[in-house]
Structure 1
Amino acid sequence: MASLTHSKKQSLLLSFFIYCWATLSVASQNTPVFSAKGLYYETLVTKIFKGDFINIPFDRDETTFVLLLNEYIDAYAINCANSLPANKVELMRAECVRERVTKDGYGWEISRTCVEWVDVGRGLYAKPEMRNAQEVIEKSQSVDAFRNMYKMMSQKNPVGEALSLVDKAKAIKSDMATLIKLNGCKSDGLMRFEENLRRFATNKQPILVNGEEARKVSISINNQNFSKLAEDLVYEHSKKWAMNQYRRGSITNATITKKDEQNRPMEMTARYRYTGWSGESTGTVRITFVEGLPECLYFHDFPSTCRTADRKLVAQFANGSYKK
């Protein structure tokens, strides 16, 4: 009897070890090997790899991310040309082909302005999906050129800010080249990082560290406080406004204007009050949703420009914080 008990113990112990091995094996299969060790932006790069979008301290249209995306695409083009697909696309740069020159009464040149640009191939190539992500960001950046310039010039030390940006660009450029060398052009870890980089750029949900996509919940237009959601989204974004000031709690007429087949919101509109150069005025905002979750805010003064919905608020919405 004692021998049988001992045998059972051994069998249970063996089963336990097999279970642990299988669990660790599955986990290791879902989580590819990845290293960002020693990078200047090690913490940021690791968060992108893990799909920890909520704790990334900036939006996709801010300079740090724009630099990160562009430098990664360039570094991959330079170091991994043989790993690109057959349908790769050439990266382009703008080149001036016609200038307008202004001279004073004595014939001295006082200004020179480019009036016609053309795209010229750089001899570097990228995956189509990564180039598409880059184009999404470029479109947003072109619309926000004035806002970004105003933001920089509003700093206490704009010259220092500009120099800091140059240093940041150099650090990111070095980081991306090193990242590829650390992981290899075709490694699962680098491909996971690349995919989450693309998803962040295109405002999509990330792939998490275990290989699963971020939580997708079933949300109905009938069980959510959309007025409160609109209020929080607009208020959070208004913290970045350059000139106007949002009047807290002024959201009205929050209305779902489109829904999908599962009765989830696809689009809503709302009105709000803000103070600008001409005093207090009424503005409108259109909020779009993907799979029931807020994606973009389109304000009346830039109706075709997506302002990314705050990721923490989106996570709270997904977790039921806005249920009636």
Structure 2
Amino acid sequence: MKVLIGASYGPALLNFRKDFIQETVKRGHQVICVSAESGELMEADIRILGASYESVGGSRTGMNLMENLAVFFRYIHVIRKVKPDICFFFMAKPIVFGGSAAILCRVKHIYSFVTGLETVFYTKGIKDFMIRNMLCLFYTFIFHHNEKCFFMNQDDFKSMRKRHLIKKGKEVIVNGSGVNMEHFERIPIPDSPCVCMTARLVQGKGVKEYCSAASSLKKKHPQADFLLVGGLDEHKDAILEEELISYLEDGAVTYCGYADDVRPYLKKCSVFVLPSYHEGNGRSIVEAMAAGRAIVTTNAPGCKETVIEGYNGFLVPVGDSPSLAEKIDLLLQKKELRESMGENSYLLCREKFEVRQINTILLNTMGL
């Protein structure tokens, strides 16, 4: 069968769907990957996976009406060109524009993967209200034509059910995108205390809370290192460079910039932190779990699914920097606790988040 996989951000195809693409190809199907990035940037890496690539242009976060209409018509062009049997879209823009194009082009089998609710579902303001309601209209239309819709957590599905966007029975809940535990291997925990956060630098990831907690803890644990790994972002809620500088001005946190490969930082750290306001399913947390690290994250959708309280880490309230600092402090004080929770993280990851388990559910659901 021909399977079209649509994402709004090309590198996400490689970071989050690499194993899925390879497994689909391995099962004897033809895969066409689609995203905003140009063919020059993506084709070589996609070909290595055994798939082909088409660009629909646009941007991951842009709200320009004419640009988005152009993306919609390019999706129509691509779908008519490749004639897929199955379309599989993840991220909001491909679900909306790719899904609408697939319905118009009468693709028989259409699937969506909600990898987390958009920020506008959590924020206030007239503009966000309008965008949220527009998204809801599109989702209602598209999910009606979907055979199944995949969700990373029950909270996101329940939120959409509450808004009457999707019928019960169309959902399939999976434990995130999964992590390749051969690529993200278990790594011995270093003796020296080191805390790490890896994330896109947007407000909703809790960067401010992490830096605030680190500032208070550095006085008590001067020997501890606090790492922040992640690049500046183009999202509307992105942390501006001057904001980041103000968070780092006391020197408590070492900013490491963007990293294509976070494994060297996971190797350095003994505690992993993600104080996010909401996630689909915290991929960076799961990567740290595969490495065997104790976790401190928030009691938020997509984060709380990764931690069993007191077993492999701790959950703290969203936006609560003192509670975050308290739990990090406890782990910094007790090496044996870091080690036992790290061991439990690895075991929990192997049980729930191994990528082959996730891909089997996706592929079997789609009849591939």
TM-score (norm 1): 0.27
Greater C-alpha Rg: 1
Which has the larger share of strand? Answer: 1
Q: Which has the higher contact order (CA 8 A, sep 6+)?
A: 1
TM-score (norm 2): 0.25
